[in-house]
Every structure is written in C-alpha cells, then in structure tokens.
C-alpha cells in the first residue's frame, strides 16, 4: 500500500511537471548598427538652384530608415518678372534651401557580399527657404521666405562594402501667403541630389 502511494505521488508530480508552463526565452541576434553619412551636390527647383547637401541616414528596424539632412543653394536667386494680378502665386517661388527629417520604408531584400542596393520610399517634414520673385528684399535682390514643409520622395543607394553612391529625389510642399497677389499659395517644388555615402 505504501509503495502504491509513493508510486502515485511520483506519477502525479511527473504529470504536474509536464503540464506546468515552461519559461519562454524568445530572442534573436541584435541587428548591427547601420548609419550612413552622405554628402554631395543638390539641384533645387529643377536646374534653377545648384548647391550642396549632406545628412545622416540611420536604420530603426530592418525596413524603416530615418534620414535627417540639409541642402543649400550656392548661387544667388534670380528674380523673374511676374505679374501679381495675373500670374498664379505659386509660380512666384523658387526653392533655395531646406532642412528635413524623412522616415522611409526600404524595399525588402537580402544583402549579399560585395555589391548591394537599397530603394527607400520617403515621406516627412522640414523647413524650406524660397525666393519670392514678386517681392524685393530691403537690401535689394529677391526676398526669401521660410515656411514649414511636408515632403515625399525616394532614394536609390548603390553600395560596395561600406562605400556607395546615393541618388535622391524629393518634392517639398509648403503653403505660404503671397502679399503681392493677396492670396494663399500651395507650392510644390522638386529637389534632387547625387551624393557619396559611407556606411558604419
């Protein structure tokens, strides 16, 4: 009888041990940090304003990257003749400079050894400076206005090991008031760049 009770307890403990939830330890190897510093030439507003651009692109997840950058135009703004009473106010403005933050989603694919590529669609926000051809600055030349902006675009990165070339294109969208036309203007202006990139 005593042996049967001991055997019963042993079976009960064995069943209880099998039924008890085991501690789950899920994990995966952490991703390597991935930062890309880039710098090169910029063309704002088509071919109207050439200059330089630079920034830092950093990976948040396997698919999401965030780029923070700046572009500046080196040449002086050119004033074009506009008629504030007849011309569309959004044609008064020419994109000059900008500072932006642009999160993006990478087209998923596997990296290999040597040559790699990335295609990233982006959207974000920033601040832009635009020359207003309808107004003359107090010191002469074209008046420049600054506005908050939204943006959309994409990047194509061609990379071998840690060095690469980055092609980018964005459209900056901002709303401003054109005092000469006494009207609001929703302005969309392009900006593109070609840059050298270093990944670390």
Query: What is the tens place of the pLDDT at every residue in 133-145?
Result: 888 777 777 888 9
**Res 120: pLDDT:** 97
- The per-residue pLDDT for 64 is 94
- 135: Cβ contacts below 8 Å, ≥ 6 apart: 142, 143, 179, 180
Per-residue pLDDT at 5? 47
How many angstroms separate the first and last alpha carbons of the chain?
A: 72
The residues facing 177 across adjacent strands are 184
Q: Are 44 and 77 in contact (CB under 8 A)?
A: no
Task: Give 79-90 pLDDT, tens digit per residue.
Answer: 777 777 778 888
- 153-189 pLDDT, tens digit per residue, is 999 999 998 999 999 999 999 999 988 778 899 999 9
Residue 92 has pLDDT above 90, yes or no: no
27 versus 42: the higher-pLDDT residue is: 42
Identify the band that residue 30 occupies on the pLDDT scale cut at 50, 70 and 90: low
Q: What is the pLDDT of residue 9?
A: 55
Taking the C-alpha atoms of residue 140 and residue 89, their distance in angstroms, rounded to an integer, is: 21
Whole-number pLDDT of residue 87? 81
pLDDT the model gives residue 6: 57
Note whether 98 and 193 are within 8 A (CB).
no
Mean pLDDT of 104-123: 92
């Amino acid at each position: 009888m005593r042996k049967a009770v001991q055997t019963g307890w042993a079976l009960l403990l064995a069943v209880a041990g099998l039924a008890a939830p085991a501690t789950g330890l899920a994990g995966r190897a952490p991703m390597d940090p991935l930062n890309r510093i880039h710098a090169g030439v910029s063309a704002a507003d088509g071919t109207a304003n050439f200059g330089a651009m630079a920034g830092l692109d950093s990976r948040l997840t396997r698919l999401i990257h965030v780029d923070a950058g700046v572009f500046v135009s080196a040449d002086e703004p050119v004033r074009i003749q506009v008629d504030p009473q007849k011309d569309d106010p959004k044609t008064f403005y020419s994109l000059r400079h900008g500072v932006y933050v642009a999160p993006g989603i990478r087209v998923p694919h596997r990296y290999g050894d040597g040559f790699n590529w990335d295609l990233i669609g982006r959207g974000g926000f920033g601040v832009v400076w635009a020359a207003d051809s309808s107004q003359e600055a107090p010191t002469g030349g074209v008046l420049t206005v600054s506005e908050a902006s939204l943006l959309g675009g994409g990047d194509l990165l061609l990379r071998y090991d840690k060095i690469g070339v980055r092609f980018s294109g964005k459209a900056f969208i901002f709303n401003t008031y054109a005092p000469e036309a006494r009207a609001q203007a929703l302005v969309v202006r392009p900006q593109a760049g070609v840059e050298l990139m270093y990944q670390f």
